[in-house]
Structure formats: structure tokens, C-alpha cells
Amino acid sequence: MSPEEKAFSVAVDNYETLLQSETQAIVSVELDKLENIIQEKDQVLASVVEARAKLLVDPRDIPELGVTLDRILKIQTRNSQTLTNLIAQNPQDKGDSTTEETSRIRKIRTAYSSQFQSEGKRFKV
């Protein structure tokens, strides 16, 4: 693997690690942690995009990277769906949840959705 490919691989691995942390935060409804992770993801995604720009080949042509990218897209999609389900169930399942908490979850969802949609454009591989 070239140094550029290695740098891309490291950046993508870091992004995947954040996605896994995000999964845990969504499932456990840790809103503060989730907000922080979303911010970190944006920073790490910038490093992925930067590393991608330095590649001389399509990362999908490197089998190891292709598998990792597919896994990342699956995790990202699953997290988005899980967050959507959380929002849909929140008012019904948590009669004790506050309006502030519900509003905060929706705010996170909006931030997450806009990040996910922009990644589709920025995270082309």
C-alpha cells in the first residue's frame, strides 16, 4: 500500500470507529455523547476527503478499502434508521421524557440528516 493509500485507510478506520461509537450512543440515548460524536465525525470526514483527494487510484479498486467503505456505508445507514426510529418511538415509549429532550433529539436528527446527505456528495468513492 502506498503512503497515500495508507493515510486514506487510517482516516477511514477512524471514521468507522466513530460510527461504532455513534451506534452505541444512539442505542443508549446518550445525547451529549451523540452530539460530540457528530462533531468529531465532521472533522474526521474532512480528513477522509483530504486523503481521498491525494489518491491516484479509486479506493474501490483496492479490495481491502472497498470492503471497509461498504461496511461504513452500512453502519451509516443503520445509524440513520435507528435514530429515525428513536425519534418516532420517543414520545410514545417515554412518557416521562421532557419536551426539551424530545426537541434535542430532533435537533440531533436534523444535524445528523444534513451531515449524512452532504456525505453522499463529499464522500464519493
Q: Quote the CA–CA distance of 25 and 32 in Å, as a whole number.
A: 9
Confidence bin at 121 (pLDDT 50/70/90)? very low
Confidence bin at 115 (pLDDT 50/70/90)? low
Buried (b) or exposed (e) across 22-57, using 16+ Cβ within 10 A? bbebbeeeeeeebbebbebbeebbebbeebbeebee
Q: What is residue 41's predicted lDDT score, i.e. its pLDDT?
A: 92
- Summarised one tens digit per residue, pLDDT across range 40-49 is 999 999 999 9
Q: Quote the CA–CA distance of 44 and 16 in Å, as a whole number.
A: 10
Question: What DSSP string describes 71-125?
Answer: HHHHHHHHHHHHHHHHHHHHHHH-TT--HHHHHHHHHHHHHHHHHHHHHHHHT--
